[in-house]
Structure 1
Amino acid sequence: METNHNNLSNISFTPAVRSNFFEMPTSVSENTTPILILSDKDEVQEYIRKPFIEANTIEVDISHLQNDCIIPVFSKDNEVTISHVNFIECVLNCIQKVYPFEKVESPEIRVSHQIKGRTPDAIYKNAKDLLDSEKTIYYERFAFIVRIPSITETINGNKLSLTVGGVRAYNQENLYSKKNLEKFKFFIGFQNLVCCNLCISTDGMKSEMKSTSIVDLQEQILSVMLNYNAEKHLSEMSTLQDYHLTEQQFAQLLGKAKLYNYLPKNIKANLPQLSFTDSQFNTIAKDYYSDESFCKQEDDNINLWKVYNLFTQASKSSYIDSFLERDLNAFDFSQGIQKALIGNGDYHWFIE
């Protein structure tokens, strides 16, 4: 059932019968687009599920991570790392604690940078002669989301679902040392079901959680979830649809954004952060004219909600270890442009 973001705390959600969290297809797929069906009180709506991140990722299921992948260790003391599956289970346990009566979907998992190895008995074999049982793999980077479809809101005609997720990147660990604090990224926010873009705010994301145990990691995740203000986040996103850029202002914004990466350091240091790349700005420019959901209006104006989603759409081309930060930057940047339109803030340079 849909929630009202102006009165979120007074909503009573319909309890849902929980299925096995890990009941998912057993195949590994690069391009899966099943239908996501959300049942509301009086309607059933269908959405084509798109990946929440693209780049060079593939989609896998949790049984693949459990059964087909090894778990890296710290080489100097052979202590095991917190595995990708452990991280997912930890987040699911936290969801059950914070939202005990809500419907929860199975995790959607994306991985990249496969690390290959072989068992000791196959050390002298040619690669082409290896049996499947003699191969070992794990994924250096992985990201996942878990949707809570019983908590939704609609902004500018787009349905949003509360979503929780995380990122793990072994390339940010020193696996050649003794076991020490391991790094994780975690967020709670909303997913725009029209495009599957993630909507993240500052209080709903922690870009570096450091932990040596599942217990400690769970405490940190719960802290973020309990301190996240969904009502405030939805309200802030909703106001974006009330502000518009003209075609000239949008062109000025993109032009300045492309100049931003080449500014002298002393000038750049005095401007707000913008972490997108030139190729992503090109995608935003193209989608201004051609995106089915977020293109310009007939009068060539575009509201900031659409601008925000053009940025989060472009963020999907980021690698796993940087896309959450770009999603957050897209929200901060959109809010900054909103303030610039009413004469406040430090973002005037982008639209002057």
Structure 2
Amino acid sequence: MELVIQNFDNQVIEESNIVTSEKRHFIEANTIEVSLEHLKNECTIPVFAKDNETTISHYEFITTTKNVIQEILGYQGDLIPDIRVSHVIKGRVPTAIGKPASELLDSEKTIYYERMAFVFEIPEITEIVNGNKLNLCVGGVRAYNQENLFSKKSIEKFKVFVGFQNKVCTNLCISTDGLLDDLRVSSVYELGERIHTLINQYDKKEHLNRMKKMNDYFLNENQFAHLIGKMKLYPFLEKEFKKTLFPLKVNDSQINTIVKDYHLDTNFSKSTDDKISLWNVYNLFTEANKSTYIDSNLERNVNAYEFMNYIGNLLENNQSNYFLHTNIIAFS
């Protein structure tokens, strides 16, 4: 209960200081939205082929996370997960063998989703960061493509996180200590224990302070253009030189999205004097990251957070390097 008292204290928030938007997805890529009941009642559960032991299902993962949230926070509200899935695996019941696909009845079809991501948003736990409303959220990712389902039952892999969701754009804001990207467990009980530990160890104050500090630093247009150009060159650098640089994970199409939104985004584009805060750049990155597939989305989200802190440290110490030149002057 210490988490509730010290880290998630209630705040009085002026509604005039809150910027919100209509509901949008926390991830796009090639995902679709499904309900928890659909996963429970209409999807099969993959098994390990050599011993026919079941995997931990998407439904069990989500409900286990919900139970942990309710236990730790003493939460009494109605927690409804936002669930996105991709890469549907289709099958059929034995009695439908040989039947043309066009003639299959719904009762003869089976499906499950290879990849699934979900978020529980807790709107009662809210912070205002740089004029944006951020709600606490807890979620996870399961990707069966990262399991060897052709073997005997073994340790299973999950990804879980705790952080915030920016209500302006539904972008996830996840810090390094708020993510377990290689959680390996053998039971639902162990999964719950590890989620419990992650939430309790998450340093909310440090995360919020670092995000607020991003608004203290700005890039002029030439510095931003230099940064984008270096990001474009980054994938083609010699391996030995690349090892000396920040390990950037953004891809080329996402860089193009960042550039477009730098000019056009309603909330996070450059200002009229052609400057942009690192907070706005961070949100351009996390918005572009929504195009990342489920199985690597969280890692890239955290990479964006670390990269912005890295650039902020360079600006604070007036240091130049491959990505940033602090002495570039803005020309009109």
- SS of corresponding position for 1:147: strand
Deviation at 1:10, TM superposition (A): 7.6
Distance (Å, rounded) in 1 between the aligned partners of 2:262 and 2:78: 34
1:150-169 to 2 correspondence within 5 Å?
150-169=124-143
1:277 positional shift: 0.5
Q: Is 2:150 the counterpart of 1:176?
A: yes
Q: Give me the whole-angstrom Cα distance separating, in 1, the residues matched to 2:183 and 2:66.
A: 17
Q: Name 1:351's counterpart in structure 2.
A: 324
Shift of the alpha carbon at 1:349? 1.3
Instruction: Determine helix, strand or coil for the equivalent of 2:85.
Output: strand
- Does structure 1 conserve the Cα–Cα contact (< 8 Å) formed by 2:122 and 2:135? yes
Asked if 1:139 is matched to 2:140, the reply is no
Corresponding residue for residue 3 of structure 1: none
How far residue 66 of structure 1 moved from its aligned partner, in angstroms, is 0.8
Structure 2 Cα separation of the partners of residues 319 and 97 of structure 1: 31
TM-score, length of structure 2 as denominator length:
0.92
Structure 2 residues without counterparts, runs of 5 or longer: 326-332
Give ranges in structure 1 of 5+ residues lacking alignment. Answer: 1-7, 15-38
Which of these residues, 132, 157, 162, is aligned with residue 188 of structure 1?
Answer: 162
CA contact (8 A) 1:240 1:335 kept: yes
Asked if structure 2 preserves the Cα contact closer than 8 Å seen for 1:13 and 1:102, the reply is no
1:49 aligned partner: 23
Q: Which shifted more, 324-333 or 335-344? A: 335-344
- 1:104–1:148 CA contact under 8 A, matched in 2: no
| Mapping 1:270-349, distance limit 5 Å | 270-343=244-317, 348-349=321-322
Q: Name the CA distance, whole Å, in 1 between partners of 2:288 and 2:134.
A: 18
Does residue 79 in structure 1 map to residue 53 in structure 2?
Answer: yes
| 2:329 aligned residue | none
Q: Could you tell me the percent identity over the aligned residues?
A: 53
Query: 1:101 Cα shift?
Result: 3.9
Contact 2:20/2:132 (CA < 8 Å) preserved in 1?
no
**Structure 1, residues 259-295: CA drift from partner, whole Å, max 9, x if none?**
1111110110111110010000000000000000100
Query: Is 2:237 the counterpart of 1:263?
Result: yes
CA RMSD of aligned residues (A): 2.1
Task: For residue 102 of structure 1, report the CA deviation from its aligned partner.
Answer: 5.9
Deviations 1:10-66 (A, max 9, x none): 86549xxxxxxxxxxxxxxxxxxxxxxxx9797898631100000000000011111
For residues 274 and 45 of structure 1, what CA distance do their matches in structure 2 show? 30
- Aligned with 1:197 (options 171, 181, 184): 171
Is 1:9 equivalent to 2:6 in the alignment?
yes
Q: Which amino acid aligns with 2:275?
A: N
Distance (Å, rounded) in 2 between the aligned partners of 1:41 and 1:266: 51
Q: Residue 135 of structure 2 contacts residue 165 of structure 2 at CA under 8 Å; is this kept in 1?
A: yes
Are the counterparts in 1 of residues 66 and 79 from structure 2 also a CA contact under 8 Å? no
Give secondary structure in 2 for the equivalent of 1:249: helix
Are 1:121 and 2:95 matched, yes or no? yes
Read off the aligned partner of 2:148 and give its amino acid letter: N
